[in-house]
Amino acid sequence: MDDVKLDPVDRGLIHALQIDGRVPFARVADVLDVSENTIARRYRRLRSAGLVRVVGAVVGTRLGQIAWTVRLRCTPDAAAAIARALAARTDTFWVHVMSGGTEISCVVQAATDGEQDGLLLQKLSRTARVTSVTAHSMLQGFASPRGWAGLRYLSNEQSERLRPDIVVDVETPVTLTAEDEQLLDQLGRDGRASHKALSDTTGWSESRVKRRIEQLERLGVLSYELDIPSTVLGYQVEARLWMSVRPSGLVSVATELSSHPEVSFAAVTTGPTNLVAAVICRDSRDLYRYLTERIASLDEVHNVETAPVNRTIKRNGAILAA
């Protein structure tokens, strides 16, 4: 990864994929004023190097699912194995080993409270090397990796030319079929899979695949996330922040955090710490400045726990290579 150098075309392509994961390469080429073959070749290069992958993400709230932020404390010798076991589950995302190998953080998307209890209480709590487990429901998101400022490169005018023209309907109830599940599973592996490949998976015609993808996008069930290591963009330090915020100031603080370019994720949660955030910085000095200047200036924040990310086992999709 460190040997891959990004030029302006690469950066423009990466930003374009953040805006629309399935954007046609011809449209990107037109915006960047290069050939379609150049864009396709650059994408293949970045993807084969393990730097860029588009993931079709299911929006669990549209299906009645609950997202939980889970934090485990464990013995350092067990952290990697436990993190990889968590990452192997289909309902986990953003699995990190933190704090020098003494903590693990992840997001779990569960269909019911009982399903979540089964994961945490029946399995994790029985592991002798796990010393504590906390899980808190994420009530409202304020910032998402899909909007992280570190990926931005294009001008506002270029960005608008690439933005998909989709009006999302979040009112109509959604019921997925077994075939839908197959379609979404394949898009979760490769968000840019061709209609032909998806047709082979589902047994549908290519035109039906295209129509159903568009329907799921409009219903707000299917979105796309760009899976990319922040280090390739020059950001060397990640951290998770758990904050205790005065209830009367919770929404204003969360809104403020969502405007910070360092923040890639922020959500209001249940529990004694009621706001969680993911922060990405250039280096440790930038993280120090962010905590002592930006966060310290927010009077409604009573307490902050900071855990640096040592290793990412899983982001949006598949488990990363060891």
Out of 107-116, 117-126, 134-143, 237-246, the most confident range is 237-246
Q: At what angle do helices 178-189 and 206-218 cross, to 10 degrees?
A: 90
CB 85 within 8 A of CB 79: no
Mean pLDDT of the chain: 91
What's the pLDDT at 185?
92
What's the pLDDT at 34?
98
Count of CB atoms situated within 10 Å of the CB of 206: 14
User: If you average pLDDT over residues 23-43, what whole number do you get?
Assistant: 98
What's the pLDDT at 321?
46
Scanning the chain, the segments in alpha helix (DSSP H) are 8-19, 25-32, 36-48, 79-87, 113-120, 156-162, 178-189, 195-202, 206-218, 250-258, 284-289
Domains of the chain: 237-308 (3.30.70.920)
Comparing 88-97, 115-124, 221-230, the range with the smallest average pLDDT is 115-124
Angle at 154 between CA 158 and CA 13, to 5 degrees: 95
Residue 60 tokens, joined: 């669990």
What's the pLDDT at 132?
87
What's the pLDDT at 322?
42
263-294 per-position pLDDT tens digit: 999 999 999 899 999 999 999 999 999 999 99
The pTM (predicted TM-score) of the whole model is 0.89
Taking 60 as the threshold, does the pLDDT of residue 235 lie above it?
yes
Pick from 278, 221, 296, 303: which is nearest to 95 by CA?
A: 278
CB 71 within 8 A of CB 104: yes
Pick from 135, 116, 122: which is nearest to 72 by CA?
A: 135
**In a 10 Å sphere around its CB, with 0-12 CB exposed, 13-18 middle and 19+ buried, how is residue 28 labelled?**
buried
